[in-house]
Structure 1
Amino acid sequence: MFKKLFYLKLFFLLLCEVSLAQQTILTDSNLPIMVILTDIDPDTNMPYDIPDEPKVLATMQLIYRPDGTRNYLTDITNDAFLNYDGRIGIELRGSSSQVLEKKPYGFTTLLEDDDSNNNVSLLGMPSENDWILNSLAYDPSMVRDYLSYTLSSNMGNYAPRVRYIEVIVNDDYKGVYILTEKIKRDSDRVNLKKIADFDNTSPQVTGGYIVKADKINGEDEVAWTMPNYGGWETNFLHHYPKTEDITDQQADYIENMFYDLAAQTNPVNISLTDGYPSIIDIPSFLDFMIMAEFASNPDAYQFSTYFHKDRAGKLRAGPIWDYNLSFGNDLFVFGFDRSFYDVWQFEFENTGAKFWKDLFQEESFNCYITKRWLELTAINQPLNYFTISNQIDEYFDLLAESQVRELQRWPSEDGWPTVADQEENIIAMKVWIENRINWMNNNIGSSDNCEDVSVPSLVISKIHYHPQDDGDYLSEELEFIEITNNSNQNISLTGYYIRELGVSYQFPANTSILSNQKIYLSSDASVFENYYGFTPFDVFTRNLSNSSYKIILSDAFGNTIDEVSYADSDPWPEAADGSGSYLKLVDLNLDNSLATNWIASAETLSIENILNELQQLFVYPNPIKDIITIQLNSLKNESLKFRIYNLLGQSVGDFELTSNNLQLDLSHLSNGIYYYNIKNKGEVIARNKIIKK
């Protein structure tokens, strides 16, 4: 208690000093204000300096008025305007950026015990505990990282979320920073399955992983190297699991995947079974290369280049990171000038592993990257010049007043980049972007051979994303996705996969779906068979989100075959959210991207079109007292079997359905819950619950 009171008094003392010392630079702002006070060093009676590592403890307040009005330093005593008020551990981060007087930081939000992580939402970003304070190093425009991450996100990829803020550390106004999500495995960041140290055999060993091509800092260790066309090596490092946590089997698995990629791109192998399309998620590689090349990032491919892979999923490129040297900007103070608008970075500067250039030059990949580039630069699209120009103007206006304070704190020095040149730099940046778009348009390639790709009539027709627990069966075990072949043609499924992170599934090679057939992908094959009465087609990895998820069924090159983005709220049927029903598409010929074309259904599942052949089957009443009626509108001269069983799975009655209207006396059964199934030629065609009262 004494310690807590001591720090509280110290905090208010320092607060007064901060307010007095900083009022000439920062008293209020249109941006959120972050105030950090490190703990007192007992040897000096002064706040701890913030080292490169390890983290030092501190208290942090984040001032933000949620209605969007101005933020005042005096709001630090008003809980209503504190987006965060608590403990953190903080350290310096970065490499070349640490050379500058204005330092970048990394911090972890902590609970009051100063040890446990505290997952919190900062400025509306999803809850987490690891954060970055990007110091805008070497970027006079103040917008390059912010713009790049936003563009990548607008393209449909995960990129670190960002917010501009102003920062005070230990009574020292530090200027404008970008509060940034740290790249890590998290359902709201890089959404991967957690891998444990005992996950050393397939399929567990297949993910999730985050690795990066990068330089080494501090205690980093190189995991493996790969040659590049520049004549040197590219270092690959483990990011998740960390070097000290990854097992030998896991390290071998992910390393071999990269060597396999290199082997299938030179000489090129485009087989859907064992070529590079079977290894990588092509859309993520397309978008990563487009962003790297569009920004002409001279460090792309060699440094700060991330990859990730989910369990049972494909290798993916991204998220993007470190784009302060881009759009014509470089480390000019050190004599570097490499971000030109008329070069391909994969063959000009830090070229990275050879597979980047090999992919770009492969005919099919080049066709798709050209197609994607033309889509993204079309009118109103993320990489259209006018779209980007307007975004930059918005950032410039947002930073107008804080840029003055930034310059006051960090005045111009000969040869060093400062925000004194912001307006001039942004004007030059816009000219550069226009030139870059024109150059890429003239040099990227042709999309003629992949513009009108025919995709089959496969329809996502049922989704059970949040089943109800039922006896010994758990909700997550009962999930399924139904896919229907809405055509009269058999369709090969080789190379097809579910593309969006969250659920992983790749159809096995040489499998197919028959005309008008429906197949089920389940979360647990044995539970599915026991509960629903027939064997699913296959099992997906991980689980469907109970709130919202985008199911994208794609071919091997990423062409979308079908796509459904469901949600657990209106206008989607809310009865499918944990109440026992599943989502059912009303008609296979309707647009299944529209919530209005889905209903919540508790109908019995069936395979093929057996129930259609029977036309209609009715089992009633339910609940029952003594007599149950089974009515069939058409029997087609087939003998059907009806079995009723208790919650233990024990049969309590077997009957042969020899007429179209059969009444069964179940008065001998005790009141309770029972299940029945109906078999046709040994195949379960219907299953449901009966309640006897």
Structure 2
Amino acid sequence: MAVVLIAVIYLYISPYCKYVIQGNSRPADAVESFKDDWYLIGGFSGEAGEEFSFLKQNNRNLSTDIKGYFINDTIYCFVPQNTNVSRLRASFTFDGKVSVDNKLQISGLSSLIFTDTVVYSVKNGPTTKNYSVIILKSELPTLQIDTYDEERVLAKVRYVGGTLRLYDTESGYAQQVLPVEIRVRGNSTASLPKLPYKFKLDSAKSLSGLTPSTDYTLLANYYDPTMTRNTLAFAIAEHLGMDFVPESHMVDVIINGEYCGVYCLTTQVDVSSASVDITPITESDTSGEALTGGYLLELETRIYDDMTNAFFTSSTIPVRIKSPSLPTKEQTEYIQNYLNEFESCLYSEDFTYNGKSLEEYIDFESFAAMYWTNEIMKNTDFPVPMSYFVYKDRGGVLSAGPVWDFDIAAGNIMERPDAMDPTQWLSTDTTWYGRLLENEDFNRCVRDMYYENKAWITALPQYTDELISSVEPVQNNNFIRTYIGLNERLFSTEDNDFYKDVSFLEEYLTLRLEWIAQNVDDLENRVVTTE
């Protein structure tokens, strides 16, 4: 049965696991090879191998090398806000004699003012080619990571060491300088032009005002041209009262002098005071009360790639144990049996099992908040399921959360007409919820939560406006570097137009919320009366 389910799920999700790049090549140790669907329109070298950079050894006001990004005959250089560019010495490799305003330029020696566009002329025999150099400054905090020996960060299985510098938007100096280890993270997103990352510090530190943590994630939001869907989902879950919601902050990211784009900096989903703040379970907790928690689980279809710490429930829901990272046999058996007992209760005729009711297995409020966050955003990953977290604290019941991974939610997937349709329920027949909504008490909890928060939910498009306004000033820099190119564009609109994508999102949410308001009472019709 499980094998059949895996095959069906693979066929369902395989269209969404192919998004990679053509053009710039990656070394053999990369997570996956790039394919033909994605492409970039530039690179950190020109078509004929030209290079342009500002090296820190030649520029005392720089803390890292800044590499120029070539798009045709324009070279973009991305630097933190308030970087002094009044006098910079450029290093370059061009085939020919290089000049600016008819003045000879020597690589690494000639100093110029770069407050405005500077045009370099390269004369090779009878031909002259001009390159426009443009300095782009960040309007966000800038997270800069320099790895040791400039080792490239391309693998999921191995951390690369280095130094992290975090610049605020006011000073030209790094506010924090910390040792760091970084690697690639993600599933399908790990093979995109704009890679997502996970990094860890040697001790808990607060970055950009987030709760101090040792483990952080950089969400690339490459699938989402508005760069806001994940943050919007976090806000919904927090307002609906979920206990553990990822904190986040937008930052610009530079790695080894290469500008990577705008990222969502957030704490890693794990058992910690900065994320899922429950009692950690240790290797010695193998009996009694200690064995009951805390566990962090991920309902994740893609466990067929790696069955480590993974199992299927009695109803074939795929589950991976995220914490503890190395569960004992007793711990694995306990949490698997707990989920199986919950399902026995859920699918029983009267919602009881061994004398226990449904509320003695799960927390209704968190499961209702999870339902509404995914339903409002119409998150197509949720029913599969993908990136669906639940946790169980010591002595407690199973709770839903944190919410995660909404970049292809809210209609952002053209290959799925049903997902782009802002009407109809998404989650009512999937991953436990079809049966949960047949339970009178849970159904009432879901409907009550909606009406208690209706005013805020109805105003969600206005909140989206505020979120968009924080991203709008930096979107141009992001899309110069990480242009979303497709042979057949997958997401939202067919144009690479930030403002069209924003309009689509706002219109989609408006129509979605109108439909929910008109149909929320119909959920009561799903209740099944038990004797």
**TM-score, with length taken from structure 2:** 0.70
* Post-superposition offset of 1:258: 1.0
SS at match of 1:124: coil
In the alignment, does 2:473 pair up with 1:406? no
Q: Sort the Cα spacing of 1:412 and 1:97 in 2 relative to 1 into closer, same or farther, 3 A.
A: closer
Work out the CA distance in 1 between the residues paired with 2:416 and 2:58. Answer: 46
**In 2, Cα distance between equivalents of 1:71 and 1:25:** 21
1:409 Cα shift?
1.3
Partner of 1:148: 233
Preserved contact between residue 156 and residue 185 of structure 2 (Cα < 8 Å): yes
Q: 2:308 aligns to what? A: 221
8 Å CA contact 2:314–2:343 kept in 1: the answer is no
1:133 aligns to what SS in structure 2?
strand
Structure 2 contact 155–184 (Cα < 8 Å) conserved = yes
Question: Which residue number in structure 2 is paired with residue 56 of structure 1?
Answer: 160
Corresponding residue number in structure 2 for 1:259: 340
CA separation of 1:56 and 1:282: change in aligned 2, threshold 3 A: same
Q: Hey, what does 1:344 align to over in structure 2?
A: 425
Secondary structure at the aligned position of 2:224 is classed as coil
Shift of 1:18: 1.5
CA spacing shift, 1:203–1:325, aligned 2, 3 Å: same
Q: Can you list the C-alpha shifts for 1:243-262, whole angstroms capped at 9, x where unaligned?
A: xx211111111111111111
Aligned partner letter, 1:240: S
> Aligned-pair distance for 1:138?
0.8
* Cα distance in 2, alignment partners of residues 148 and 287 from structure 1: 11
Q: Give the 3-state SS of the residue equivalent to 1:90 in structure 2.
A: strand
Give the gaps of 5 or more residues in structure 2: 1-55, 69-76, 80-132, 526-531
Shift of 1:343: 2.8
1:305 maps onto 2:388 in alignment: yes
Partner of 1:364: 441
Query: What's the CA shift for 1:364?
Result: 2.2
Q: Compute the displacement of 1:438 (Å).
A: 2.5
* Matched residue, 2:84: none
CA RMSD between the two structures: 2.8
Post-superposition, which runs of at least 4 consecutive aligned residues in structure 1 deviate over 6 A?
8-14, 446-449
* Helix, strand or coil at the partner of 1:103: coil
CA contact (8 A) 1:370 1:446 kept: no
1:172 aligns with 2:258: yes
CA contact 1:139–1:324 (8 Å) conserved in 2: yes
What is the one-letter code of the residue matched to 1:424? Answer: K
Partner-residue secondary structure (3-state), 2:261:
strand
- After superposition, the C-alpha distances for 1:333-376 in whole angstroms (9 at most, x for unaligned) are xx34442322322357xx33xx2210012222112211111112
Mapping 1:126-145, distance limit 5 Å:
126-145=211-230
Q: How does 1:651-662 map to 2 (within 5 A)?
A: none
- SS of the equivalent of 1:361 reads coil
Pick one of 65, 80, 85 that aligns with 2:177. 85
Output the amino acid matched with 2:516. M
How far off its partner does 1:142 sit? 1.2
- 1:396 aligns with one of 463, 468, 472: 468
Displacement of 1:36: 1.1
Q: Which residue of 2 aligns with 1:376?
A: 453
Q: C-alpha separation between the residues in 2 aligned to 1:304 and 1:275?
A: 27
CA contact (8 A) 2:151 2:160 kept: no
CA distance in 2, matches of 1:16, 1:311: 46
Check 1:308–1:26 CA distance in 2 against 1; reply closer, same or farther (3 A cut): farther
Distance apart, 1:441 and its partner CA: 2.7
The DSSP-based 3-state class of the residue aligned with 2:161 is strand
Q: Supply the distance in 2 between the matched residues of 1:25 and 1:127 (Cα, whole angstroms).
A: 36
Alignment of 1:446-525 (within 5 A): none
Give how far 1:442 is off: 3.2
- Aligned equivalents of 1:267 and 1:26: distance in 2? 65
Shift of 1:28: 3.1
1:8-23 aligned within 5 A: 15=63, 17-18=65-66, 21-22=77-78
Q: State yes or no: 1:328 paired with 2:416.
A: no
What letter is aligned with 1:396?
I
Residue type of the partner of 2:231? Y
Structure 1 residues 196 and 411: alpha-carbon distance in aligned structure 2, compared to 1, 3 A threshold: closer
Alignment partner of 1:308: what SS? strand
State the match for 1:212 in structure 2: 298
SS class of match (1:132) = strand
Contact 2:267 2:274 in 1 (8 A): no
Q: 1:208 to 1:100 in 2, by over 3 A?
A: same
Partner of 1:203, secondary structure, is helix
Shift in alpha-carbon separation, 1:146–1:363, aligned structure 2, 3 A: same
Q: Does 1:119 align with 2:204?
A: yes
Change (3 A) 1:278 1:129: same
| Cα displacement (A) at 1:234 | 2.8
Aligned residues: 400
CA shift in 2, pair 1:188/1:172, >3 Å: closer
Which of 481, 503, 513 pairs up with 1:437? Answer: 513
Which residue pairs with 2:377 in the alignment? 295
Conserved? CA contact 1:216–1:222, under 8 Å? no
Letter of the 1:122 counterpart: L
Distance in structure 2 (CA, Å) of the matches to 1:370 and 1:359: 13
> What is the CA-CA distance between 1:9 and the residue it aligns to?
7.3
State how far apart, in whole Å, the 2-side matches of 1:10 and 1:90 are: 27
8 Å contact kept, 1:25–1:173: no
- Partners of 1:261 and 1:25 in 2: how far apart? 60
State the AA in 2 paired with 1:249: E
Distance 1:359-1:346 versus aligned 2 partners, 3 A rule: same
Q: CA deviation at 1:203?
A: 0.9
Return the offset for 1:26: 5.7
Deviations 1:580-608 (A, max 9, x none): xxxxxxxxxxxxxxxxxxxxxxxxxxxxx
Q: Which amino acid aligns with 2:141?
A: P
8 Å CA contact 1:366–1:445 kept in 2: the answer is: no
State the one-letter code of the partner of 1:309. Answer: K
> For residue 186 of structure 1, what is the amino acid of its counterpart?
S
Quote the Cα distance in structure 2 between the aligned partners of 1:271 and 1:372: 24
Pick aligned residue for 1:240 from 315, 320, 323: 323
Q: Is the 8 A contact 2:292 2:393 kept in 1?
A: yes
